[in-house]
Amino acid sequence: MSIATLFAQSYYNDTYYYDTSSTAPTVVEASMILSILLFMLVLIVASYVIYALLLSRIFNKAGVEGWKAWVPVYNSWIRLELGGQTGYWAVLAFIPVVNIVAAVFMYIAMYNVGLKLGKEGAFVLLAIFLPIVWLIWLAVDDSTWEGRHAITPKKSHKKAAN
């Protein structure tokens, strides 16, 4: 008799019987799910902290306050403006089909930020395919911002004294 026949006979003879009457999760299963969710939350928070730290260093090189890198949508707005694009694409990125166009404008802005920090034009490929490496490279190297800043401070509207 072959092995397959033995397995088939033991299966059909109810030798392998599993009780599926209760579908409630046990304490072990619930703790495993909670542990996985907690690990994912810690991983997400840690990656955001690293991202914001690196982006704040790039903002400081560009003459922008570093705290702006910690605000979720506002940091994309500032990065777009540093790259010479309009910042509202950061908000439009939440609309399903428009987000593709917004991503193109974000890549153009990343290209311009790379150029202003003295990188080659092909450096944008790193921003597209490995954005964390792009951030680390621009944040920790000794490059300086070339040219004028894309974000200029607002001028005061006070009237000059005669």
- Concatenated DSSP letters for 128-145? HH-HHHHHHHHHHS----
Taking 80 as the threshold, does the pLDDT of residue 159 lie above it? Answer: no
Comparing 11 with 79, which gets the higher pLDDT? 79
List pLDDT tens digits, range 51-98: 999 999 999 999 999 999 999 999 999 999 999 999 999 999 999 999
Q: In this model, does residue 162 exceed pLDDT 50?
A: no
Q: Shortest CA distance to 117 belongs to which of 88, 152, 141? A: 141
Contacts of 88 (CB under 8 A, 6+ apart): 77
Q: Phi and psi for 62 in degrees, rounded to 5?
A: -85, -5
**If 0-12 CB within 10 Å is exposed, 13-18 middle and 19+ buried, where does residue 117 land?**
buried
Compute the mean pLDDT over every residue in the chain, rounded to the nearest whole number. 85
